[in-house]
Amino acid sequence: MIKPMNQKILAHLPSNIKLIAVTKGRPAIDIINLDTQDFGENRIEEIESKWEAEPLLRNLLNNKNVNIHFIGKLSGKKIKRIVKFCSYIHSLDSIKHAALIDKAASDSNKIINCFIQVNLAKEPQKSGIDAGDLNKFIEECNKFHNLKVIGLMTMPPVDVDPSPYFQELQNLAKQNNLSGLSMGMSDDYEIAIKYGANYIRIGRKLFE
């Protein structure tokens, strides 16, 4: 169960910010005590084993306005399963994957809200498109009917000041008329908010 100080995190967030509770690796009893409707998972296998197989979470998903956000690396062969459970995808960086998401969403009669992942630091170990490819990528995504690009996502390099990366993503979003900014985690979400983040992904800090 989360402690009072962690409830305080939720209470002091501006009303326009959606907190995504990152619940990967967490048992059902921890999750149902979180005062949020948005949950982040990074593996479809864990989503299925928890949100489909666990009665507590299955009931939560069925009976409340709960959203599961997929925050992990996409795999084409798993997209249909991801779309079944998730309302949001934060890691779109391939037109091939966009087409698969759109097809699966159309087959399920739903709209999937997507963030394009931008690799601002051009780190080879991270997914994401280059900032220079963003305009064309958005144009291609806008051709789909059941995939909606609502914003951008980035993860700055570790152990550096994240401010320049957050500011650059904010500028890119403004240039492309996108309102969603998915950035900021347990250690840097307060900085991200200063640069316009309105979707923050917090895991460890909720459970300390």
Are 6 and 205 in contact by the 8 Å Cβ rule? The answer is: yes
Residue 5's pLDDT band (cuts 50, 70, 90): very low
SS3 at position 90: strand
> Tens digit of pLDDT for each residue in 65-108?
899 999 999 999 999 999 999 999 999 999 999 999 999 999 99
> Tens digit of pLDDT for each residue in 123-148?
888 899 999 999 999 999 999 999 99
Q: Is the pLDDT of residue 3 over 70?
A: no
Longest Cα–Cα distance of the chain, Å, equals: 46
Q: Is the pLDDT of residue 1 over 80?
A: no
Q: Is the pLDDT of residue 163 over 50?
A: yes
pLDDT of residue 52: 92
- Taking the C-alpha atoms of residue 54 and residue 98, their distance in angstroms, rounded to an integer, is 30
Are 152 and 123 in contact by the 8 Å Cβ rule? The answer is: no
- How far apart are the two ends of the chain, measured CA to CA in Å? 10
Domains identified in the chain and CATH numbers: 4-207 (3.20.20.10)
Average pLDDT, the chain: 92
- Encoding tokens for residue 98? 């966009």
Neighbours of 179 (CB within 10 A): 11
State pTM to two decimals. Answer: 0.94
- Percentage with pLDDT > 70 across the chain: 95
The amino acid at residue 197 is: A
| Mean pLDDT to the nearest integer, 46-61 | 92
Q: Is the pLDDT of residue 177 over 50?
A: yes
Q: Is the pLDDT of residue 150 over 90?
A: yes
